[in-house]
């Protein structure tokens, strides 16, 4: 199988290229090589890639050329992170949604009918909660007044009682709470429309908090694991927002790469019906608090203990962890890298140094 990996020179993309090669597949990389993610304007292909097309996914001519002889697409290219409210909304929509639209149109022209989309658990918003009196509930966005007062936990929208967070199933309705989340959901809708119109087959893998070797350092668009690791590399204590009790699911990048390979093989092996997009939660299955993760990483790095700051970000969610059982049941994938081993490796492996603090793709 010959696969076009958009964003293939990035953090997840490079691991995916290696995982594809391990399975005997060829990966052609298309990447804009933006400086926030790719230091020194690196233009050499990732190790084991079949080649590198240095171009933006929004360039239709470049994408048309890259899709020649391609059997399937792995669409990893995106602008990630919570961002700056709505100030950079146009950048997110341009990179994520326009880029996806250009790619899908090119795939239709080229006759490519198999695509795996890098999705995100952020489409669920605040996640799933249970009220003792009212059962399953979906709390609204947290009020800034409550956040300023240190009241971080959502309350029952009916009675105001405390809620118990739980795992979000794969059929939970989406409720994006920030610009980035809205663009990730739009990517899924665009891909579903492409599948229906062309008879293509698509899978969206809704990633949880991915971490591991090769994360970019010191960029505002990285994930929380990168923030913590960057601070420790500077000899500083990781700053944990709110009270540190936010629940997340940390999944190793090699497990994410393996999930992508399994999805691509399912698509090209006719295991997925045409004309559809199916979304799968893709996480380790073990929720952890941000403070617990920061402590584990600080210990592994031999650095200072994390500092809980009480700071908050509007648009962020309190707890979001999902159930990945459907991906295990239908495609046979499960996370295999133990958390402690993965964090120990992350602590000792170098991060990539950006050349600026601009958004990367």
Q: Which residues are catalytic?
A: 180
- Burial letters 203-231, b for 16+ CB under 10 A, else e: bbbbbbbbbbbbbbbbbebbbbbbbbbbb
Angle at CA 13, nearest 5°, toward 120 and 170?
25
Closest to 99 measured CA to CA, from 57, 37, 141:
57
How far is residue 1's CA from residue 352's CA, in Å, rounded to a whole number? 30
CB within 8 Å of 292: residues ≥ 6 apart: none
CA 175 centroid distance within chain: 17
- Strand order in 128-131's β-sheet? 135-137, 128-131, 163-168, 321-322
Dihedral sign (CA 66, 198, 262, 215): positive
CB within 8 Å of 167: residues ≥ 6 apart: 128, 287, 321, 322, 323
Torsion of Cα atoms, 280 then 25 then 11 then 56, to 10°: -100
How far is residue 284's CA from residue 117's CA, in Å, rounded to a whole number? 19
Dihedral sign (CA 321, 337, 342, 9): negative
């Amino acid at each position: 199988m010959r696969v076009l990996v958009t964003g293939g020179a990035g953090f997840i993309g490079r691991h995916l290229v290696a995982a594809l090669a391990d399975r005997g597949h060829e990966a052609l990389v298309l990447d804009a090589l933006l400086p926030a993610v790719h230091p020194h304007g690196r233009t050499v292909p990732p190790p084991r890639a079949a080649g590198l097309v240095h171009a933006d996914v929004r360039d239709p001519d470049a994408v048309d050329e890259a899709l020649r002889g391609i059997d399937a697409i792995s669409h990893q290219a995106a602008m990630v992170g919570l961002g700056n409210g709505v100030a950079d909304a146009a950048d997110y929509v341009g990179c994520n949604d326009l880029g996806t639209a250009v790619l899908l149109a090119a795939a239709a022209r080229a006759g490519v009918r198999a695509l795996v989309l890098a999705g995100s658990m952020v489409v669920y918003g605040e996640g799933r909660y249970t009220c003792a009196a009212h059962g399953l509930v979906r709390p609204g966005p947290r009020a800034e007044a409550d956040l300023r007062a240190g009241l971080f936990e959502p309350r029952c929208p009916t009675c105001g009682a405390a809620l118990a967070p739980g795992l979000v199933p794969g059929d939970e309705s989406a409720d994006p709470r920030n610009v980035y989340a809205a663009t990730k959901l739009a990517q899924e809708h665009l891909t579903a429309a492409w599948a229906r119109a062309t008879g293509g087959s698509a899978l969206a893998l809704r990633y949880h908090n991915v971490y591991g070797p090769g994360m970019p350092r010191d960029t505002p668009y990285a994930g929380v694991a990168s923030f913590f690791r960057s601070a420790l590399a500077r000899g500083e204590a990781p700053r944990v927002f709110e009270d540190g009790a936010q629940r997340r699911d940390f999944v190793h990048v090699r497990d994410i790469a393996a999930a992508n390979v399994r999805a691509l093989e399912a698509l090209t092996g006719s295991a997925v019906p045409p004309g559809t997009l199916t979304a799968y939660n893709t996480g380790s299955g073990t929720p952890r608090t941000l403070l617990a993760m920061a402590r584990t990483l600080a210990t592994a790095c031999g650095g200072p203990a994390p500092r809980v700051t009480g700071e908050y970000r509007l648009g962020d969610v309190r707890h979001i962890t999902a159930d990945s059982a459907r991906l295990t049941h239908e495609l046979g994938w499960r996370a295999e890298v133990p958390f402690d081993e993965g964090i120990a490796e992350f602590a000792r492996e170098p991060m990539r140094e950006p050349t600026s603090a601009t958004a990367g793709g």
